[in-house]
Amino acid sequence: MSEIAEFTRHLGHYLAAPDVALVERAFEFSESAHRGQFRKSGEPFITHPLAVASILSQWRLDAQGLAAALLHDVMEDTKVSKHEIEHSFGKPVADIVDGLSKLDQIEFTSREEAQAENFRKMLLAMAQDVRVILIKLADRLHNMRTLDAMALTHRRRIARETLDIYAPIANRLGLNALYLELQDLAFKHLNPMRFRIIANAIKAARGNRREVMNRLLDVIRDGFVRTGIPANVSGREKTIFSAYKKMREKRYTFAQVFDIYGVRVLVPDATACYAALGVLHSLYKPIPGKFKDYVAIPKANGYQSLHTTLFGPFGTPLEAQIRTHDMHRIAEAGVAAHWLYKSGGELDIAEAQRETHRWLQSLLEIQSESRDSKEFLENIKGDLFPEEIYVFTPKGKIMALPRGATAVDFAYGVHTDIGHHCVAARINYEQMPLRTELKSGDQVEVITAPTARPNPSWLSFVATGKARSRIRHFLKGLQQKESAALGERLLNQALLTLKVAPEAVTWDRWEALAREYAAKSHLEILADIGLGKRLSFVVAQALTRATGHADDASGAGATPASGAGKPSLTLRGVEGVAIQYAKCCRPIPGDKVVGQFRKGQGLLVHNRECLTLKKQRSDMDQLIDVEWAPDIEGVFDAGIRLLVADRRGLLAALAIAISDAQANIDNVSMERPDGGGALAMFFSVQVRDRQHLARVMRGLKRVPDVRRVQRART
């Protein structure tokens, strides 16, 4: 093949002869393994790994990486094993190939689950060796370049995955040229008509703009010559996808987008960057608020540049980027720049590893705290779009966070314990709520309390994968602990109905039952009871048997004995995540109640007459008797509905009546049922029990112009 000869000739420019020989052996091995296999386009399959290796050779990847690129599909598509690759090419090459191979031997319930698990495997391999992701990105680039041979549904799925995951990874690693090409290729297959229209418009506009752009560049070059600053000045043109993105986000027409000119200025050193900025600002006035200094504060992927927008000729905006030649190399090639521009000696893989280590380490931590691959993928998606803001700690340390990050994200960014115990934040010396979104330049100080703990509502506004995974991990542990406590109470009551003292159950019997249920410990069994995954009566029966197996290891479909056989649980008050009170009927102490197990979520307490519960007769085997403890603790939500005559000051009078009855208002809403002078009002109040609620309602009836007061169950 002439392609392999040309490829190896190119390798000779930067690899030693033994390294070129290793790559040639890998090509021969791959060609033999894939012989008889063809791509959808009809080409021999070997053309794909060769094209991937050729892309990587432009980044001057080392011989082991190129060998792995040539072999990256052999484990997945042929009968070659990891052991064979390790024997022929060494362990590093075999590990990279294994990291790139999909988990085809595992059965997945959905394509999304398979995609997420394969992506997790790849990222774990990438954390060990950054070459894994470089090969995967080159593989994706070649697949996108040749995607026309695939069926339409496959094209759209692969393009969407590329835009959502692989293009952001390329951006996160600083591979700018690759990032832009992947975006354009994905856009072409997701929106072919829009892509074609914008591509043609750019082509047509190019000719009209050339003369204006050349004059503009001449003026800027003359300015640098006069000041004696050596500068390389060139024009920049928007990519098709970036033009579309700007049109959509800013609601611009194509003409408005292409009324913006772009220039790039390359200078010898960082000091010259700021001098060049002064030259541009003397030629054209800067637009206020449109300056960004990524030289002093680099982006997380290593990108450095000064960005400014100027009032150009004829009032058209002029976007300028100013950077050094070294900054430009890193801006274009990212982590690959460490291979691409290393002069002489051995290539230093560890240098590139260090650049990405912090990000990869955070991904590993998120991975360890995610329940499954889909949650992991969801957690890190936010981290793949680093439109960053830069905030300061009280000591002046700079922290990069994604746009939309809140004080909670900042707290978890400082330390997990700070996040777990945060209660408020001082932003620019002013105390603000935790959900406050941060802006670049904010100084943030987190206020903590030893007794504070994460709130599930935080998950609705945090922006970083790290914060989301830490909160979920804490809540999962908390749920396990509270569910085990609830499970123990249920089990003890079930044992008492069988006339067995709980303390009479030996550890030997617990250990035997844990083995029967394939549980890690007795705590796991208790937590399963508390979460409704096992029935307490079934576990109690299993524990009281001297020998034999449990009747039903899962508890699914099993029912305890009727009547007195059913255990009754005593409710002590507001008990965290394991026991919750139904919003559909708002039970309070004094109401006749019943408990409903929701599998995996714990116990939900309903009023016995709850209409929602009566509609769920199919789940009656999941109900247990519950009763209120005599010394109940805490306050409970109750609803009160009123019909009142509208008048000034009425709402204040109602609020005073509720306050005089020692109750808190949680929420209030109102509407005019007939559009006249009558108002229907709803108050959500916090009360201790039925007697307390009755006092509140009597106080409301005494307020003038209140026509009707009744308890609202829903």
> Which amino acids are annotated catalytic?
76-77
Lookup result for tokens 């590093």: 92
Residues 6+ apart with CB under 8 A from 430: none
Tell me the C-alpha distance between 494 and 502, whole Å. 9
Token readout for 32 is 């033999």
Lookup result for tokens 């072999």: 71
CB-CB neighbours of 465 under 10 Å:
26
Lookup result for tokens 């980027």: 321
Q: Judging by DSSP bridges, how do beta strands 317-324 and 261-267 pair with one another?
A: parallel
In angstroms, how far is the first alpha carbon of the chain from the final one?
76
CA 205 vs. chain centroid, Å, equals 39
Token readout for 365 is 């931590």
User: How far, CA to CA in Å, does 291 sit from each of 264, 286, 321?
Assistant: 15, 8, 10
Q: State the virtual CA torsion across 425, 430, 435, 439 in degrees, nearest 10.
A: -110
Tell me the C-alpha distance between 283 and 278, whole Å. 9
Orientation of helix 131-145 relative to helix 91-100, angle to 10°: 50
Tell me the C-alpha distance between 18 and 5, whole Å. 16
Question: Could you tell me if 140 and 162 are in contact, meaning their C-beta atoms sit under 8 angstroms apart?
Answer: yes
Question: Could you tell me if 54 and 65 are in contact, meaning their C-beta atoms sit under 8 angstroms apart?
Answer: no
**CA-angle at 565, arms to 564 and 570, nearest 5°:** 75
Question: Could you tell me if 645 and 705 are in contact, meaning their C-beta atoms sit under 8 angstroms apart?
Answer: yes
Instruction: Please count the residues of the chain.
Output: 714
Task: Please choose, from the candidates 280, 313, 308, the residue with its C-alpha nearest in 3D space to the C-alpha of residue 295.
Answer: 308
